[in-house]
Amino acid sequence: MVSLAAFFPFKSAQAALENMNAISEGVVHADLKLFLETNLPQSGKKKSVLGVSDGKIGAALQEELSSSIQTGGVVAEITRGLRLHFHSLVKGLTALAASKAQLGLGHSYSRAKVKFNVNRADNMIIQSIALLDQLDKDINTFSMRVREWYGYHFPELIKIVSDNSMYCRLAQLIGNRKELSEENLESLEEVVMDSAKAQAILDASRSSMGMDISPIDLINIERFSSRVVSLAAYRLELQEYLRSKMSQVAPNLAALIGEVVGARLISHAGSLTNLAKYPASTVQILGAEKALFRALKTRGNTPKYGLIFHSTFIGRAAAKNKGRISRYLANKCTIASRIDCFSELPTSVFGDKLREQVEERLSFYETGDVPRKNVDVMKEALKEATDVAAEIKRKLEKKEKKRKKREKKLQELGENGEANGDAEVENGEEDNTLKKKKKKKQAAEEMEAQAEEAPSGENGEETSAKKKKKRKAESEEVEEAPDAEDGAEETETPAKKKKRKSEAMDTQPEETPETPVTEKKKKKKKKDAAE
């Protein structure tokens, strides 16, 4: 019978996740070590044996602890039984609670693995190269379908135009061959990029042996050909995306062997890290596993190259030198992949130098020119790489400084805007108070003027003169009031007093002759009335 000796639950979900990560990496966690040291019997006649289901963690525990450890045999059966009946061994633990805890820990572990995956960028390359290969197959199949379908109507076009995408564009442009005329020659030249071919298409359309086609069939052919053209355009965009991604992730491998072949190597290996771990002999035959095992089974010749055959170097080499150049190229590919995997700043300097070395080796096989030594080439590459890395760092620092300056300016502008807003509010309040004061003064003056304008009999003209004097005095007082508010008060000089006296003297003689004139007029009016 199996009985429970000790049980140590995790303190929190974070502690459980840490222990899980440590076990998956083959590392003994501090909690596990403490639990085993406190509960394993250290002395006794019979030595205790620790059963561990995972061999990696068992090896790590063997180094940490002095007790004997068993990993195979009966241990797997015992652990299976413990998992099945664990809820009955521990008091207070139900099967539902145990399954929920396992599910939660599994989700958190998977989330952490996906989040901190070092191969995140490699996955984009693997998916894009797989899609690129699938698009090539699909575009080829669809183009052959368009050729066969449109060939019933215009069979001569197949011999004139061999390119698939160009044929689909022409089928979309021409439509009914009977409607093709000299006016369409320019548009044909734009698609074909050759005036002779455009003229040949025009001549062939006039003397074609194809059958007549209905408008509805032409519409379907044009729609299908437009889809094929759009797929070809998307393939070019995807290839450009793959090129940019390879220049970021594996610039040296892309510079050495090309973006497409490098991406295929990464995809076949699973990640750039896995490719960097492979030896050169494995990289050489990567992609030719079937041929290798067939050769081993039949005791025939093993393959000389796998995916690297698609590079330009092996195609340019002579038949007798293909194996030698493939071995040399695989060696350089492993170096480039390791530099890309473990370097901090991605640069293509080493890839360019390695490509030069492969070119020199090709010329050595053909002409016998002795290539440069690897040590000298790597020294030059290292020197250039340090310069490029320093330049990249300098650019990054400049960008960081510019970003910080921009942030500071935005903060200052925000603070100044708030201060200006407060100042504008204060100025607006002061202006409003001054306007209110002026309006009150004007209203008071208007009220006084209306009160003084009442009729006063015979002395009406005298009162009008007095009103004028009062208004002048009031206007002078109003002009003096804002000066006093602005803080520019001026003391009256004796010259100003003399001027004011003289103005008063001038106004008095003008007013005195007015009285007799009015009396004479009144006397005349009385005489006229008496007569």
Residue with tokens 């004479």: 520
Least confident of 76-85, 301-310, 311-320, 456-465: 456-465
Q: Is the pLDDT of residue 72 over 50?
A: yes
Distance CA 309, CA 289 (A): 14
Please state the domain extents for the chain.
Answer: 13-116, 123-238, 250-392
pLDDT confidence tier of residue 458, bands split at 50, 70 and 90: very low
Least confident of 18-22, 160-164, 323-327, 496-500: 496-500
Q: What is 458-480 written as a DSSP string?
A: GGHHHHHHHHHHHHHHHHHHHHH
Q: Is the pLDDT of residue 114 over 50?
A: yes
Residue with tokens 């009150």: 440
Distance CA 264, CA 258 (A): 10
| Average confidence (pLDDT) over 449-467 | 50
Same fold, 13-116 and 250-392: no
Q: Is the pTM of this model over 0.85?
A: no
Q: What is 204-215 written as a DSSP string?
A: HHHT--PPP--H
Distance CA 254, CA 21 (A): 34
* More confident site: 119 or 480: 119
Q: Residue 237 in contact with residue 255, Cβ under 8 Å?
A: no
145, two tokens: 């379908």
Q: Is the pLDDT of residue 492 over 50?
A: no
Question: CA dihedral in degrees (430, 433, 439, 445; nearest 10)?
Answer: -110
**CATH code assigned to 13-116:** 3.30.420
227, two tokens: 């889809």
Which top CATH class is 123-238?
A: mainly alpha
Q: Which residues neighbour 155 within 8 Å (Cβ) at sequence distance 6 or greater?
A: 208, 209, 210
Residue with tokens 């050169």: 280
Backbone angles phi, psi at 69, to 5 degrees: -125, 135
| Average confidence (pLDDT) over 447-452 | 65
Q: Is the pLDDT of residue 417 over 60?
A: yes
Residues 330-368 pLDDT 10s? 999 999 999 998 888 888 899 999 999 999 999 998 888
| Average confidence (pLDDT) over 98-107 | 85
Q: Which residues neighbour 92 within 8 Å (Cβ) at sequence distance 6 or greater?
A: none
**What is the residue type of 259?**
E
Q: Which range is most confident: 54-58, 446-450, 484-488?
A: 54-58
Q: Which residues pair with 51 in a beta bridge?
A: 70
Least confident of 133-147, 257-271, 386-400, 474-488: 474-488
Q: What is 174-239 written as a DSSP string?
A: H-SGGG--GGGHHHHHHHHS-HHHHHHHHHHHHT--PPP--HHHHHHHHHHHHHHHHHHHHHHHHH
Distance CA 521, CA 526 (A): 9
Which top CATH class is 250-392?
A: mainly alpha
- For the chain, the average pLDDT equals 80
